[in-house]
Amino acid sequence: MSMRMSGEFKGSEALRRRMSEEQYEKLEAIPDTDVHRFIAESAELCEPNDIFICDDSPDDIAYIKHMAIASGEESAALETPGHTFHFDGYFDQGRDRATTKFLVPKGDNLSPHLNQIDRDEGLKEILGLLRGSMRGRTMIVRFLILGPPNSVFTIPCMECTDSWYVAHSVSLLYRKGYETFLKMKPGTEFFKTLHSQGRVDERKVSVDYKKRRIYIDYVTNTVYSVNNQYAGNSVGFKKLALRLTIRKAHREGWLAEHFMIIGVHGPGGRKTYIAGAFPSACGKTSTAMLQGEKILADDIAYLRNIDGVCRAVNAESGILGIIKDINPKDDPLIYEVLTSPNEIIFSNVLIKDARPWWLGMGCPLPEEGINHSGKWFKGKIGPDGKEVPPAHENARYTISLRALPNCDPSLDDPEGVELGGIMFGGRDYRAYVPVQQAYSWKHGIITYGAALETETTFAIIEERRKYEINVMSIQDFLSIPLGQYVKNYIEFGRKLKKVPLVFGVNYFLCDLKTGEFLNDKRDKHVWVKWMELRIHDDVSAIKTPTGLIPRYEDIAQIFKTLLDREYTKEDYMKQFTVRVPENLLKIERVRAFWESVPDAPEEVLEELNEQEKRLINAREEFGDYISPESFPEI
């Protein structure tokens, strides 16, 4: 089950030598010896001075927060009660794709697109880097759960770390799990993380970033992480454990997804849950935080077929959110939360006058302060030779979902919530309309989800390198073959008695001549409200070659009642004209991608080819750019 290290497992006596009687009693209460073994082997390898077992009591949770500050990993020198700040190293500011690898046993095969290393070789390297890494420190052990407690969705997990900041972060991001481990039957599958920040400097920042490694051992459901602090690399249960969960879901017939989930209010007081997958910077967080709606999840969701109904939960219970561009005009709700007394960890922002400052916050920023580079001033050049911005573009905030006034009350419902719809959204300047509904589950999963792409710049259409396909916005985290993943999706929908509607959204459609956006940032709320009505069959739609689109009268009414804005017919025509040439080029790109995937399901190319035929037939009848009014209403 566990990692293999030099020396034999010393059992309880090895643990007693590094633990007080009080700490040992907390661990001894957990009956699963695999838990004891993992902690003992981790301690034998990393050689901490002592071990702190968190039993989730208020005293233990408060002690961890206190130690995060006392250790210097966080600072509470901010004027707003509950706010602390943390800095990661200059070269430790985001997920590290290059050094995040799967440990693959000999004879096993993963997709060549996935970053991987031979398991024996990788274990030797990572264990060598972890050896002795906790000397002079405390190893903190956190017990957590993914998904709500006492649920078919529940996955127990544990993390051993020498970072009080990491231990504090998980208090905000995840549900407490010590009670689950007390009741856990021996042999229950659980996930494990061993993390060490490695050597740190006087600012308590990891210094050996060139030796940063994040290795995922799916044989033992273990994440190893060393020489880093950035939460996406050090908190094992973010995208790292998602890779393990995807494999578990594949074995058991459910879906682990990079989804946000919102509860959208509709007529008659009803609430409809809609999930959404978006690559970075494509509107995911702003959709999850739509004012007036409820947020259930912002990042990772689990979906199961329960009695023929698609039910979903948030794997987490907090947000590690990108803070850039949050301002009172565009994001009034979350801005209010971030500037009010709450338990929040700000990371890699600018600190000045006992306040956090970040890029795009809607006001002038100070010209000096402290940030991830140390003492900062305007024009400062960093160690990479580049000018240092006031705050990092990937600066973050960590907060419990329960601190948000719009947190959905069903967050911890063990049965999950019924999904009425799923949306897939990319950054598509040229082709797809702002919102459309798929003809069927399979059509939507393939032409919106499996075809999800992000265009990096408004460059000429022939520059294919400017497009990046990111299947379901989960491609970076897949731990099973890409084709198998899409097969699982198709099969999941096929087995449902009540199938969620699938939508494609595109908040970035531009005028082909001027390059100007055709959508206002607030328009997304209108598209979401239209989806809610379609899920309940309250409005009809127009059938185009790529999907079902809104009628002008319906969304004009939503614009008026929701945003108090007149929505003109001219705006509608610009946004919902079907652009045949751009859509055909999109199909060419997506088809070329899937033709390179060796295990791609036949349905993928079939759906793409059918959509191509519909577009060509429409062009023959109406031309290259077709008014939405040319198509039939259904």
Q: Which amino acids are annotated catalytic?
A: 282
Cα 506 to Cα 424: distance, rounded to the nearest angstrom: 8
Cα 120 to Cα 142: distance, rounded to the nearest angstrom: 27
Cα 257 to Cα 284: distance, rounded to the nearest angstrom: 13
Element of type H or E holding 245: helix 239-252
Element of type H or E holding 134: none
The CA radius of gyration of the chain, in Å to the nearest whole number, is: 25
Q: Write the CA distances from 188 to 180, 184, 192, 298, 327, integer angstroms.
A: 11, 7, 13, 28, 45
Cα 412 to Cα 401: distance, rounded to the nearest angstrom: 11
Task: Assess contact for 30 and 181: CB atoms under 8 A.
Answer: yes
Cα 140 to Cα 245: distance, rounded to the nearest angstrom: 24
CA 187 and chain centroid, separation? 29
Structure-token match 């900062």, residue found: 376
Q: Write the CA distances from 138 to 46, 53, 192, 261, integer angstroms.
A: 10, 10, 18, 37
In this structure, which amino acid lies at residue 183? K
Cα 59 to Cα 49: distance, rounded to the nearest angstrom: 22
Q: Euclidean distance between the first and final Cα of the chain, in Å? A: 56
Element of type H or E holding 226: strand 222-226
Which tokens belong to 276?
Answer: 């959404």
Q: Write the CA distances from 414 to 150, 314, 411, 513, integer angstroms.
A: 6, 11, 9, 51
Q: What is the 3-state secondary structure (H, E, C) of 92-130?
A: CCCCCCCCEEEEECCCCCCCCCCCEEEHHHHHHHHHHHH
